[in-house]
Structure 1
Amino acid sequence: MATAFRDAGHDIVVATGADGAAAAGSSGLDVRDIAPDVRIGAVFVPRVLLHPLQARREARGAEREPRFVGVLFAALAARMAGGVLALADEWQPDLVVQEPLAAAGSMAAARHRVPVVLVNNTFFDAEQLLAVTTAHLGGTARRYGVARIPPPTEVLLTAPRSLVGEQHGTPMRFVPVAGNGSAPDDLTRPGDRPRIIVGRSTVADPRPDRLMSSVVAAAQGLDVEVVLARPDRRVSRRPLPPNVRTTQWLPFPAVFPAASGVVHHGGAGTLLTGLACGVPQLVVPGAGDRRVNAELLSARGAGLAVPAERISAADVDRLVSDPGLATAAREVAEEIAAMPAPADVVEGLTALAR
Structure 2
Amino acid sequence: MRVLFTSIDGAGHFNPVALFADALVQRGDEVLLVVPSDLRDTVEKRGYPFRICGKPSPEVMGAIYKRFVTLPPEEAEIVADREVLGKHYTEAMLPALEEACREWRPDVLLHDSRAYAAGIAAARHGIPHAQIGISQAAVEEGSLQRAVPELVRHDGAIAQRLHSVPFLSRFPGSLDPSSFTDTRRFRDGVEPRRGILPDWWDGSDAPLIYLTFGSVTGQLPLAGDVFRAALEAVRGLPVRVLLTVGHGTDVSALGDIPENVHVEEWVPQADALGEAAAVVCHGGSATLLGALAAGLPTVVVPVFADQPANARLVHEAGVGLRVETGIESEDRVGKIGPADVPRIRAAVEQVLADPSYGEAAGRVAAEMRALPTIDAFVDDVFATLVGGVTGAV
Please say whether Structure 1 and Structure 2 have the same fold, judged by a TM-score greater than 0.5.
yes
**How is 1:226-265 mapped onto 2 (pairs within 5 angstroms)?**
226-230=241-245, 233=250, 238-265=255-282
Q: 1:154 aligns with which of 148, 153, 166?
A: 166
CA–CA distance in 1 between the matches of 2:130 and 2:204? 42
Q: 2:34 aligns with which of 15, 20, 33?
A: 15
The question of 1:89 aligning with 2:139 is answered no
CA–CA distance in 1 between the matches of 2:129 and 2:56? 26
C-alpha displacement of 1:337: 1.1
C-alpha displacement of 1:332: 1.4
Per the alignment, in what secondary structure is the counterpart of residue 30 of structure 2? coil
Q: 1:353 aligns with which of 386, 390, 393?
A: 386
C-alpha displacement of 1:65: 7.8
C-alpha displacement of 1:68: 5.1
Partner residue, 1:113? 126
- Structure 2 CA distance for partners of 1:266 and 1:224, relative to 1, 3 Å: same
The question of 1:209 aligning with 2:224 is answered yes
User: Which stretch of the first structure deviates more once superposed, 318-327 or 126-135?
Assistant: 126-135
The question of 1:25 aligning with 2:53 is answered no
Name the amino acid aligned to 2:170.
Answer: T
Gaps of 5+ in 1: none
C-alpha displacement of 1:247: 2.1
The question of 1:219 aligning with 2:238 is answered no
Name the amino acid aligned to 1:290.
Answer: Q
Q: Is the 2:214–2:287 contact (alpha carbons within 8 Å) kept by the matching residues of 1?
A: no
Q: 1:322 aligns with which of 354, 363, 378?
A: 354
- Structure 2 CA distance for partners of 1:214 and 1:148, relative to 1, 3 Å: closer
Question: What is the TM-score when the length of structure 1 is the normalising length?
Answer: 0.83
1:278-300 CA distance string (max 9 Å, x none): 21111112222111111111111
1:116-169 CA distance string (max 9 Å, x none): 201111113445544543541344x3xxxx775460421112212222235431
Runs of 4+ in 1 over 6 A off after TM superposition: 63-67
Per the alignment, in what secondary structure is the counterpart of residue 34 of structure 2? strand
**How is 1:280-319 mapped onto 2 (pairs within 5 angstroms)?**
280-306=297-323, 307=325, 308-309=336-337, 310-312=340-342, 313-319=345-351
Q: Percent identity among equivalent residues?
A: 26
CA–CA distance in 1 between the matches of 2:241 and 2:221? 25
1:249-297 CA distance string (max 9 Å, x none): 1111121121111112221111111112221111112222111111111
The question of 1:173 aligning with 2:173 is answered no
Per the alignment, in what secondary structure is the counterpart of residue 293 of structure 1? helix
Q: How many residues align?
A: 337
C-alpha displacement of 1:24: 3.4
User: Which stretch of the first structure deviates more once superposed, 153-162 or 334-343?
Assistant: 153-162
Name the amino acid aligned to 2:37.
Answer: A
Partner residue, 2:290? 273
What is the root-mean-square deviation of aligned Cα atoms in Å? 3.1
C-alpha displacement of 1:15: 1.1
Q: Is the 1:106–1:116 contact (alpha carbons within 8 Å) kept by the matching residues of 2?
A: yes
CA–CA distance in 2 between the matches of 1:103 and 1:86? 16
Partner residue, 2:376? 344
1:194-226 CA distance string (max 9 Å, x none): 111111232221124333322332323321111
CA–CA distance in 2 between the matches of 1:177 and 1:19? 27
- Structure 2 CA distance for partners of 1:22 and 1:61, relative to 1, 3 Å: farther
Per the alignment, in what secondary structure is the counterpart of residue 228 of structure 1? strand
Q: Is the 1:173–1:340 contact (alpha carbons within 8 Å) kept by the matching residues of 2?
A: yes
CA–CA distance in 1 between the matches of 2:341 and 2:320? 13
Partner residue, 1:133? 147
Question: What is the TM-score when the length of structure 2 is the normalising length?
Answer: 0.76
Name the amino acid aligned to 2:49.
Answer: D
Q: Is the 1:60–1:286 contact (alpha carbons within 8 Å) kept by the matching residues of 2?
A: no
- Structure 2 CA distance for partners of 1:234 and 1:94, relative to 1, 3 Å: closer
- Structure 2 CA distance for partners of 1:212 and 1:138, relative to 1, 3 Å: closer
1:308-328 CA distance string (max 9 Å, x none): 442433222223222011111
Name the amino acid aligned to 1:279.
Answer: L
CA–CA distance in 2 between the matches of 1:207 and 1:248? 17
The question of 1:34 aligning with 2:29 is answered no
